[in-house]
Chain A
Amino acid sequence: MLGNEAFARGAYEGGVEVAAGYPGTPSTEILEFLSKYREVHSRWCPNEKVAFEVAAGAAIGGKRALATMKHVGLNVASDALMTLSYTGVNAGFVAIVADDPGMHSSQNEQDTRNYAFFAKVPCLEPSNPKEAKEFVPLAFSLSEQFDTPVLVRSTTRVSHSRGLVPLGKRESVPLRAYTKRAEKFVMIPAFARERRKVLEERLKALEAWVEETPLNRVELRDRKMGIITGGVLYEYLREIAPEVSVLKLGVSFPLPKRKILEFASQVEELFVLEELDPIWEREIKAMGVKVKGREVFPGIGEITPDVILECLFPERKREFVDLSHFLIPRPPTLCAGCPHRGVFKVLRDMKAVVCGDIGCYTLSTLPPLSAMDTCLCMGASISIAEGIKLAHPEMPVVAVLGDSTFVHAGIPPLIDAVYNRTPIVVIILDNGTTAMTGGQDHPGTGRTLMGEETVRLDFVNLARALGVPWVEALDAYNPKRIRESLQKAFSFPGPVVFVVQGLCQLKRPKRKEVFFRVREEICRGCNMCLSAGCPALKKNEKTVTIIPERCNACGLCAEFCPFDAVEEIRV
């Protein structure tokens, strides 16, 4: 079972009734798997803050509730977290947050454990899919026992690894009574001051609990070396050095200080092995315990079994063959037929300043498209573009973001552009799905996570309602029209919104009624088509050809060819 499927199974067995999230690698599949259990209400929300709050509300109302997100999603939801820790919950509330050490598919590698320390809420950390399933029901019980939100931290290698998971039965959890308790749930200053004290008392109680819980486990073997670790690193260590003594922390926060002191006294040399920030190391060193961490292990990137071998057991490294001098890189690219390609080629050719956003379209950053100037975080394209426009009114500045990203965090900055009359162009790439994470529904698709038809958000009407003076829908496969519209928009006095429509090619059936071919006698080898970076085009000595099995028949290369050398053939 995949780790993320195990999280979903754990939530199901733990009696979850409401689950909400926003897609983000490596967390996405948790909700997708959970949505298959029809007795649980699962939903995608516009963003993580909304998801977190819907789940928090369900818990306050008396049903066990789950929120799922990736690490940077918790930044968006953190406003809610920081005060939900004051109010506490009613029925169990758990947020599963997946970190991405090494940034396989993320813009940073922040460590979610910081939020546990920051918000003073307990954080559990499973090591494998089996524990992923087991820890979620425990997290619900813990949440109810201490009346607190609980974080469960995953990482890419827990979420996206498979292992054997024994299944259990779904716990039957009765609805908890909801009673109005303003002093607990209305955080006006007078009440919040009282809850602040409750938070500290709860933390003391948790510190006592954490010494006793079997989730933190001492495994005494050879006493020469003792290692405090947790998460997937525990698994690596068992594989590489099964003989060393380990204190496995299943709870990242709070730390079991007595247990740590006892373990430290039982081993000759103590290490702390943790991925991303030296959070435990700081705490343990502050306790006056002699422990090695960062002086041995790197502080940047993913800690793989190879890194542990290199740092702790260099004599155990195996011989291997490295033929990397033969290698050429193979970075991910926009798919053949991708509706984003034409837009970025036009923007690059027009030398616009392109403020990008989070999604597949960041793949337009690398050559040959080299189209993007900035990409910071969800929704930032529009506001960053506004700022650049303020610094350089003479430059054509364009914000480009996907449909799902626009819904997530693009609406307030668009209101700002209207309100403050910033003359930027905003391009919403509407491909009808959340593509980067594998194609999830969102408010613009008209379908819910549970597969029900619903109201479909209309981007054109929304932008008009916000007061955008010029809003227009454009065809993603008509670059000439996009170019003309942009040309006019660059001299328009207010903000402009273009909704560029074209379905994600992973979501549309392959076109069989038409194909494209380069007429070699006409092709002059100018390579104009190649500058859009389509993986279905191949350069020969003097001409370009289309690789039929890669081509998705979007016809953009025919649009770009200045000599009409690409012909469309109807079958």
Chain B
Amino acid sequence: MKGSIILSGVGGMGILKASEVIAHLVVQEGLAVRQSEVHGMAQRGGSVVTHLRYGEEAFSPLLFRGEADFMLAFEELEALRYLPYLKRGGTVILNRLVLCPPGVDPSRYPKSVPEILRNAGYNVTSIPATDIALSLGDIRVTNTVLLGAFSRVFPIGSEKSWKEAFQKAFRGKNLEQNLEAFSRGRNFYDAS
């Protein structure tokens, strides 16, 4: 079992935390993991990407183009930006969220990103994760809702194992709320 995931979005959306949860999960399943993340200048509302590789052996913390099996996109434009890393026909879990970069005319923002991705041959699940998070009272659990949907397509880890990974990543902080958000993401995927 080996593979790779690209997580993309905008600084401050909990992308690092989401990749930490996935890293704990694959390690619990006895696999090696390597992951690369962005700090510093890139976090000031800029575009953010995390690469994650797992397998019996894992060396490179960076992926190469056309390699990733999965993409977790926290924002629509940022799905398009890092698409070259995704392999042809790969799976995208897409948050239905449009954040037009400040100072940019909204009419320049690409319309109907899910369609664009599907037309390019990707397997797309789009989910209003931010809306679901807001309905739970905390926009910060957007990442967990997305992970819930992702857990339905990711071949590794039982529901129990995911919950254990959450426990490790959140160390008890807002665990209840995150587990609720996780179930909502799972249920959304199952219903869609």
Contacts and interface: CB of A to CB of B under 8 A. Distances in A.
A235 B41 contact: no
A70 to B, nearest CB: 10
Given A305-B64, A317-B65, A328 B46 contact: no
Contacts of B32: 163-164
B35 interface: yes
A162 B47 contact: no
A535 B35 contact: no
B81 A161 contact: no
Interface residue range, chain A: 35 or more
B133 to A, nearest CB: 11
A534 B34 contact: no
B38 A104 contact: yes
Interface in B33-74: 33-47, 53, 58-67
A161 B35 contact: yes
B59 A328 contact: no
A562 B105 CA distance: 23
B44 A162 contact: no
Given A332-B11, A530-B103, A437 B66 contact: no
A232 B51 CA distance: 15
A328 B109 contact: yes
Interface stretch (B82-90, B152-160, B167-175): B82-90
A534 B64 contact: no
A25 B108 CA distance: 33
Nearest to B111: A326
Interface string A320-358: 111110111111111100000000000000000000000
B69 to A, nearest CB: 12
Nearest to B101: A330
Contact of B66 (A238, A240, A319): A319
B77 A328 contact: yes
Contacts of B149: none
A239 interface: yes
B40 A323 contact: no
Interface string A229-265: 0001001101110000000000000000000000000
B165 interface: no
B80 interface: yes
Nearest to A334: B44
Contact of B35 (A162, A238, A319): A162
Contacts, number: 164
A267 to B, nearest CB: 21
A129 to B, nearest CB: 9
Nearest to A239: B60
Contacts of A323: 80, 83, 116, 120
B41 A322 contact: no
Interface residues of B, number: 57
Given A163-B34, A164-B27, A238-B60, A326 B44 contact: no
A328 B86 contact: no
A160 interface: yes
B23 interface: yes
B3 interface: no
Query: Which of B34, B59, B85, B110 is most buried by chain A, counting CB atoms within 10 A of its CB?
Result: B59
Contacts of B23: 162
Given A162-B37, A235-B60, A332 B85 contact: no
Interface in A269-309: 304-306, 309
A367 B105 CA distance: 14
B39 to A, nearest CB: 6
A322 B33 contact: no
Nearest to B34: A163
Given A235-B59, A304-B62, 12 more contacts: A25-B39, A104-B41, A161-B35, A236-B60, A238-B60, A305-B62, A319-B66, A330-B77, A332-B41, A332-B44, A332-B46, A438-B40
Interface of A: 25-26, 28-29, 104-105, 128, 157, 160-164, 232, 235-236, 238-240, 304-306, 309, 317-324, 326-335, 360, 363, 367-368, 436-438, 530, 533-535, 537-539, 549
Interface of B: 10-11, 20, 23, 27, 32-47, 53, 58-67, 77-78, 80-81, 83-88, 100-106, 108-110, 116, 120-122, 139
Q: Which 3 A-B pairs have the closest CB atoms?
A: A318-B66, A105-B40, A25-B40
30 contacts: A28-B39, A128-B34, A157-B61, A163-B32, A232-B60, A235-B34, A235-B60, A236-B59, A239-B59, A239-B60, A305-B60, A318-B64, A319-B66, A320-B65, A320-B83, A320-B84, A321-B83, A321-B122, A326-B80, A330-B46, A330-B81, A332-B41, A332-B45, A332-B46, A333-B44, A333-B45, A363-B44, A368-B103, A530-B103, A539-B106
